Amino acid sequence: MSERSLRERVPTPVKAVVGHSTRTFGLLTSSSRILPGLLVCGGQRCGTTSLYRALAQHPAILKPVCHKGVHYFDTAYERGLAWYRAHFPTKAVARRIADHTGLAPVGFESSPYYLYHPLAARRFARDLPGVKVIVLVRDPVERAWSHHAHEVARDFDDIADFEAAVEAEPGRLLGAEQRLRIDPAHYSFDHQHHAYVARGRYTDYLEPLAQAVGRDRVLVLDSGEFFTRPEDVFERVLRFLGLPWLGEFAFARHNARGRPSPMSPALRRRLTDHYEPYDARLAEWLGRTPSWRR
């Protein structure tokens, strides 16, 4: 039986206890642990899990100890940097990998809400100087629709109709971002889970991200290209990280989710038109027209 199959058979309460114990031990040894040099910051429902699993196969790229997304810089910042370090491998592990591969290992994690939380980029730019950031983008209409289906399936949204959720979004988000900016302790469930249309305006988030960490430290990938030509896109990722292609990689699509009902043609046209100026600005980041506009 595979390791993944074994994990899936472990009851959720047992997983929670094991995870808590691991993080407690990690906190006690945090000073001997690495900090990440790479963050996969989103966008949500754009293939971040698939990229995470591809990255984790590289012998010199070190994933978190417990789970892919730590969410420190968005919803857990008050826990402190020692808590964050507790989620990563030890420096001794990194040294062994360096000795074995002749490469400087890179730790990483993937928390898609980092791209959207208004304080996250400034926080990791300050706490992780020199950090590199990868962002995946996808057809924003499909992304919004997938996002809504994902939240409904998790019982995080009681508005089951996508069009109704789109109509409710402005009211749900009213004042949320401003409150998050002025009150670092504030948390908005609507902002994290119900910003379906807003999150497809990618350049609204990429521009402040680049201002915080530096444009040369941000790599934007078209997920349509990643899923159709994964080797080519992954080669770009490795060049961005300064790492060679080392070993064999299996590329697969993860977390794909069906839709409970079709989207009306009128709503699709309205959203497609809404995103047109944002997609035009995004082309400057990608160096080409986004795949969904070709």
User: Could you write out the three-class secondary structure of the chain?
Assistant: CCHHHHHHHCCHHHHHHHHHHHHHHHHHCHHHECCCCEEECCCCCCCHHHHHHHHCCCCCEECCCCCCCCCHHHHCHHHCHHHHHCCCCEHHHHHHHHHHHCCCCEEEEECHHHHCCCCHHHHHHHHCCCCEEEEEECCHHHHHHHHHHHHHHCCCCCCCCHHHHHHHHHHHHCCHHHHHHHCCCCCCHHHHHCCCCHHHCHHHHHHHHHHHHCHHHEEEEEHHHHHHCHHHHHHHHHHHHCCCCCCCCCCCCCCCCCCCCCCCHHHHHHHHHHHHHHHHHHHHHHCCCCHHHC
pLDDT at 189 over 50: yes
Q: Is residue 24 part of a domain?
A: no
pLDDT tens digits, residue range 72-117?
Answer: 999 999 999 999 999 999 999 999 999 999 999 999 999 999 999 9
Q: Is residue 163 part of a domain?
A: yes
Q: Are 120 and 220 in contact (CB under 8 A)?
A: no
- The closest alpha carbon to 148, from 84, 193, 201, 117, belongs to 193
Residue type, 116: Y
Tell me the average pLDDT across 121-139: 98
Cβ neighbour number for residue 245 with a 10 Å cutoff: 12
pLDDT given for residue 107 in this prediction:
98
Q: Are 200 and 140 in contact (CB under 8 A)?
A: yes
pTM comes to: 0.89
Token code pair at residue 288: 């080409």
Q: Is residue 1 part of a domain?
A: no
Q: Is residue 15 part of a domain?
A: no
pLDDT confidence tier of residue 6, bands split at 50, 70 and 90: very low
pLDDT given for residue 7 in this prediction:
37
pLDDT tens digits, residue range 15-30?
Answer: 444 345 555 656 778 8
Is there a cis peptide before residue 43, judged by omega within 30 degrees of 0? yes
Q: Is residue 192 part of a domain?
A: yes
pLDDT at 239 over 80: yes
pLDDT at 215 over 70: yes
Q: Is residue 288 part of a domain?
A: yes
Q: Is residue 124 part of a domain?
A: yes
What is the number of residues in the chain? Answer: 294
pLDDT given for residue 28 in this prediction:
73
- The closest alpha carbon to 48, from 116, 123, 130, belongs to 116
Instruction: Determine which of 24-33, 101-110, 230-239, 273-282 has the lowest per-residue pLDDT on average.
Output: 24-33
The torsion angles phi and psi of 155, rounded to 5 degrees, stand at 60, 30
pLDDT at 203 over 50: yes
Token code pair at residue 99: 């000795």
pLDDT given for residue 23 in this prediction:
52
Say how many domains are in the chain: 1
Domain limits for position 273: 34-293
Query: Quick one: CA torsion of 107, 111, 116, 121, rounded to 10 degrees?
Result: -20
The torsion angles phi and psi of 245, rounded to 5 degrees, stand at -75, 110
Name the average pLDDT for the chain.
90
CA distance 89 to 100: 16
pLDDT confidence tier of residue 10, bands split at 50, 70 and 90: very low
Q: Are 37 and 106 in contact (CB under 8 A)?
A: yes
Question: Could you tell me the CA-to-CA distances from 221 to 17, 134, 230, 256 in Å, in that order?
Answer: 36, 7, 11, 18
pLDDT at 8 over 70: no
Give every CB contact of residue 97 below 8 A, 6+ residues apart in sequence: 59, 60, 62, 103, 105
Tell me the average pLDDT across 32-44: 95
CATH of the domain at 122: 3.40.50.300
pLDDT tens digits, residue range 167-186?
Answer: 999 999 999 999 999 999 99
Q: Is residue 10 part of a domain?
A: no
